[in-house]
Structure 1
Amino acid sequence: MAHYDLKTQDLKAFAPKLRAGDTVTLTGTLYTARDAAHKRIVAAMDEGQALPFDLDGAAVYYAGPTPEKPGQVIGSVGPTTSGRMDPYSPRLLDAGLTCMIGKGVRSQAVADAMARNGAVYMVAIGGAGAVKAESVKALDVIAYEDLGCESVKRLTVEGFTAIVAMDSVGGNLYRDGAAQYRTE
């Protein structure tokens, strides 16, 4: 296991080299999107409409930030359960999405799409949304404003930390990490 300081624009080239258990500190652009936004993005793809952001090389953080308080850029911005995005993720990965950040296990279909595309799934610690907010330096709502906290936002981050939970060569902390503690 290694630690990497990466710029998000370098993730497309670097993601295939990351391995489950590596820690990463990201600087650059993350997009927030949850299941309602994913549904709309896939519908836009189906209809040939413009997408809210370029999927090629993009990193999506599964989060719905709370409103900021005076003097803050963003409120608490903790991860949400990633499995809710599983029906949409393979399609987005096949369209160029490189990095997903959330919490919890992912389906085999997502793992297969990650392998096909050299993508990576990272986890952020649930319950630490206020700490994550400290790494957000700018926020712009870029699509689906009617979804409120679940709108698509472009975040500019510095020092955003995450752990690689699943890599593009089959490494999976949820499977392999638990296996080392089984006694049967």
Structure 2
Amino acid sequence: KEDAELLEAGAALPDGLRHAAQQDWSLAIDALRDCQRLMVIGRGAGFAIAQEAALKFKETSAIQAEAFSSAEVRHGPMALIGDNYPLLVFAPRGAEQAGLLSLAADMRQRGARVLLAAPDDVLERDLTLTCAEHPALDPILAIQSFYVMAAGLAVARGMDPDQPRHLSKVTRTH
């Protein structure tokens, strides 16, 4: 059965993508310019965003970025987090958001350098996430904002995001 609301929201996605691409994430560029490692955290659909973001940090900026679900961080990976340890936390709207906001606050208390990406109704956010016409499409807009920032970060680090080191954009099979 087709979901009429979701289909309608899909039609509005191009405008949402344009808006998401215009979000000002320059704070992240400044915070991560000299970074060598970081964690990218999400939960639910936000975990997929975290995984893609970690991959792009490696590919375009040569940063050792690892993606974790917020549930995992409170176990082993938390041992790595100390003063100024950088964390990018994706907290889009939805059932998982409250736990992500709580984790971000806890990590700030531990002295981590938290970059909290959340919609504009979350006052403690550092980076604004654009909301789609349907919450199921929010991850698409979140990663759009990230991609623009990731390209700017690569340039700030003296790299070309379109020519990643040691990578070929063409896969050859034999």
TM over 0.5: no
TM-score by length of 2: 0.36
Q: Would you tell me which structure has more helix in proportion to its own residues? A: 2
Structure of larger gyration radius: 2
Q: Would you tell me which structure has more strand in proportion to its own residues? A: 1
